[in-house]
Chains A and B, each alone.
Chain A
């Protein structure tokens, strides 16, 4: 099958834009009437739904940021009643409080439809066995891909993350043809397979990788495709948008963002203005049909460009290029978003920890490794090694519990970490992708 929903996917651009305008208009009216949050925001911005008369008028609307979700924890921005919610996902916030995303049945259906189109555009369908090696649970990756793959009639192998040797055995025994996971996890699987004497190219049926949740490069794509004998495709999404939603098609020229699902803008992060066509800027999305947690002009923080040209595959929807960086200091470690401010927040609750810390991110083999170097408080120094080891353990637990990422903690001498005037650079990222 070429397209999951050809009527929409190949709809002429003009018609798509008319549809987007209608969806935007009704979204704005609905939120102005029923969402205190958006009502106040629009009032502050001095914009009324009647002012939205064309699609480009979207730029009159206020932005939304991740901090708005934190400030309205857990569900103050939700516009669906508790009875209409059918699921929660939770991701890490920028500080101590996580971000909660709620879904109505329609929200889940739209998310699943988006992925059904995306997976079909990779040539997947009935008869394929899709191994979902994203985490299942509060993280959106596992369940998102799971329902998307089931929708297109593929067989899901829900392995989640971890227990890599077993994953490889099942991949062989059940004939997985595609795998969805982080690119670094696929590299890890490749390495473990080699150690087990399994040649992914010859000994498995794997031919497609659906890789995302962390940044990767063309260099990694070439390496994985050659080494593992697969086609490696980029998948994109964030929990605020629903989860992983969009992928490249077989052309591998940017991920298609379905226009009936999201309205894309590229914003200059400094001025807040739209950049010129084709220029680099901050990816900003309005999710046009979301019911539980609406998103108008959500500033995602990822830097990229958008391409409005019709794709060689025939799909008319805009394509967003590979993510090239972040506007903030967010790190992605093993697919999990980590803000240095969260680490700071966690550390400051521990009295034995001094004022200074440093995060060192590296790749050990294929996997990310986070090291938190901490200066011990002078008063907390104990002559006993066991006391010091307990302090270290306590910090490791605290970091793991608040970030959902394992970190190694290193206690360092006071004064040994670099001091900065003004904004400190607390992150050393040694990964080269």
Chain B
């Protein structure tokens, strides 16, 4: 199977933990007509990392870098979840049983159902294990 098509480019942006920083990022992306499909904020004492799935990652990267942000691409995967009790468990169990560690994760529940976005330590392994169990991975082309 072509695992590559399931690898999604997430953009990660370093941000100070103070008012207006998310607005600055969102404004820049809006100006570039980049659509944010999902995002999360991780915070530590004094700073944070804004992570987002966008429709045009390269464009977003260029824009944010040009206005001074520290930006990086990170490979993540996205999995369809059943939007009912136990839905998250099914996916998390697959990875746990395979001894694949989830570094971080966030989810959204959209028109097509619930989606879990995962950053794992072994991306290829995770894709193979998840597809073998019959769960549905979402191709990167769906996002960008």
A384 near B103 (CB under 8 angstroms)?
A: yes
Of A381, A410, A413, A415, the contact of B72 (CB 8 Å cutoff): A381
Given that A381-B14, A413-B15 are known contacts, is A388 also in contact with B70, CB under 8 Å in the complex? no
- What's the nearest-Cβ distance from chain B to residue A384, in Å? 7
Q: For the complex, is B108 an interface residue (Cβ under 8 Å from A)?
A: no
Nearest CB of chain B from residue A185's CB, rounded to whole Å:
27
The verdict on A382 contacting chain B, using a C-beta distance below 8 Å, is: yes
Category for how many chain B residues contact A: 20 to 34
CB-defined contacts of A332 to chain B, threshold 8 Å: none
Q: How far is the CA of A389 from the CA of B42 in the complex (A)?
A: 12
**Which residues from chain A contact B46 at a C-beta distance below 8 Å?**
410-411
Give the distance to chain A from B96, nearest Cβ to Cβ, in Å. Answer: 20
With A378-B70, A383-B74, A388-B47 as known contacts, state yes or no: A413 contacts B14, CB within 8 Å.
Answer: yes
- Flag B1-12 by CB within 8 Å of A: 1 or 0 each: 000000000101
* Chain B residues closer than 8 Å to A414, beta-carbon distance: 68-70
Say whether, besides A376-B70, A378-B70, A411 and B47 are in contact (CB < 8 Å). yes
Considering only residues 407-433 of chain A, those with a C-beta below 8 Å from chain B are 410-416
- Flag whether B49 is at the interface (Cβ < 8 A): yes
Smallest beta-carbon distance A383→chain B, Å: 4
A-chain residues with CB within 8 Å of residue B119 when the two chains form the complex: 383
Interface presence of B44 (CB below 8 A): yes
B16 within 8 A of A: yes
Q: What are the interface flags for A156-167 relative to B under an 8 Å C-beta threshold, 1 for contact and 0 otherwise?
A: 000000000000
Q: Which residues of B contact A384 (CB under 8 A)?
A: 49, 103
Residue on B nearest A371 in the bound complex, by CB: B46
Residue contact B44 to A383, C-beta cutoff 8 Å = no
With beta carbons under 8 angstroms apart, the residue of B10, B21, B44, B69 that contacts A388 is B44
Chain A hits for B80, CB < 8 A: none
Which residues of A are at the interface with B, using a C-beta cutoff of 8 A? 376, 378, 381-385, 388-389, 410-416
Nearest first, the 10 closest Cβ-Cβ pairs linking A and B are A415-B68, A383-B12, A381-B70, A383-B74, A411-B47, A385-B42, A385-B44, A410-B46, A381-B14, A381-B72
